[in-house]
Amino acid sequence: MAKLTTKQYPWQRMMHYIAASAIGATVFSKLLHYVDPKLMRLSQDRLSIPKVVAGLPVVILTSTGAKSGQARTMPVMGVPDGDNIVLIASNWGQSRNPAWYYNLQAHPVAELKFNGHTGTYIAREVADPDEYRRLWQKATEIYMGFDKYQQRAGRKIPIICMMPQVEKPS
């Protein structure tokens, strides 16, 4: 099973403060939505702005649209947790969840791509308080901005655990 890994340099950790600020989150939320998918496509998924600038682990999530039923592909930060990949539905600290959250609620089977690996995963929202705290801590160790987003959001930010779908032998 492929593993998602993280490595951050001190200068990248400093960039977290900019992205976590209200102004930084506003700028990045508008900019990354358009620029990052193009950059990732051109680099064959090796480069993304959050990965290069802040050292964040980025995965390519392809989910099925909750309303449209169409495939929707979006780069998102993934938090490694054993074989699972954890997604934080922070939406940059906005008052609503990101669209991919609703897509996974309606259609929990999705594809994740990272480090040359492509796999099918099953989404599960984390409801257990102890598991939520453990995963939130793990996420904030990688990106301190999640605590700032939680303060601004005015909602409990959902955590989605993406579990690899085990292929059954034929």
Say which CATH number the domain at 126 has: 2.30.110.10
Please check the confidence at residue 11 and state whether its pLDDT lies above 90.
no
pLDDT, position 22 = 76
**Residue 152 one-letter amino acid:** R
Q: pTM of the full predicted structure?
A: 0.82
Q: Note down the domain range covering 46.
A: 10-164
pLDDT, position 19 = 72
- Measured CA to CA, the distance from residue 17 to residue 54 in angstroms comes to 10
- Asked whether residue 1 is domain-assigned, the answer is no
Cβ burial of 70 (10 Å; 0-12, 13-18, 19+) is exposed
Please check the confidence at residue 158 and state whether its pLDDT lies above 70.
yes
pLDDT, position 91 = 93
pLDDT, position 51 = 72
CA distances from 153 to 19, 77, 144 (A): 15, 18, 15
Half-sphere exposure of 37 (CA within 13 A, CB side): 10
Q: Number of structural domains, the chain?
A: 1
